Amino acid sequence: MKPKKLTDDRYTYRVTWSEEDQEYAGLCAEFPSLSWLARTPEAALRGIRGLVAEVVEDLRANGEPVPDALSSRLFSGKFMVRVPPEVHRKLTLEAAEAGVSLNRIVSARLA
């Protein structure tokens, strides 16, 4: 099967080895329910890109929304994280002892 191509394909792809399937799995972050198995990483990438192209074509043909590529999205740099009260207390104490904000401590840990 010859994979379809998207002219504006800016989606985020990853190829990983699947121990369970004993093949390479092509994945797309914007379409987490899709995957493509192949014997080589190159074939897995070609396969998932072709599958995504088919799905996008189908979505467009049916007037359904098409996911934006992660690379095209703008991020504010803000998100909320819920942690247990003990973790909150520990991080607040660590920040106070270091003389920095809680935000700085958490950002450093995430980086």
Q: What is the pLDDT, as a whole number, of residue 6? A: 72
Nearest to 28 by CA among 42, 43, 41, 45: 45
Give me the number of domains the chain comprises. 2
Instruction: Tell me which residue range forms the domain holding 45.
Output: 13-70
| Dihedral sign of CA atoms 78, 16, 25, 14 in order | positive
Average pLDDT value over all residues in the chain: 94
Does a structural domain hold residue 43? Answer: yes
* Mean pLDDT calculated for residue range 66-73: 93
* Mean pLDDT calculated for residue range 15-30: 98
| Sequence-distant (≥ 6) Cβ neighbours of residue 10 within 8 angstroms | 69, 71, 72
Q: pLDDT of 86-104, one tens digit each?
A: 999 999 999 999 999 999 9
Same domain, 19 and 66: yes
Phi, psi of 24 (to 5 degrees): -85, 140
Q: Does the pLDDT value for residue 26 go beyond 80?
A: yes
Does a structural domain hold residue 91? Answer: yes
Same domain, 94 and 49: no
Q: What is the pLDDT, as a whole number, of residue 45? A: 98
Same domain, 19 and 33: yes
| Whole-angstrom distance, CA of residue 14 vs CA of residue 45 | 8
Does a structural domain hold residue 36? Answer: yes
Does a structural domain hold residue 5? Answer: no
Does a structural domain hold residue 66? Answer: yes
| Whole-angstrom distance, CA of residue 111 vs CA of residue 108 | 5
Confidence of residue 4 (pLDDT cuts 50, 70, 90): low
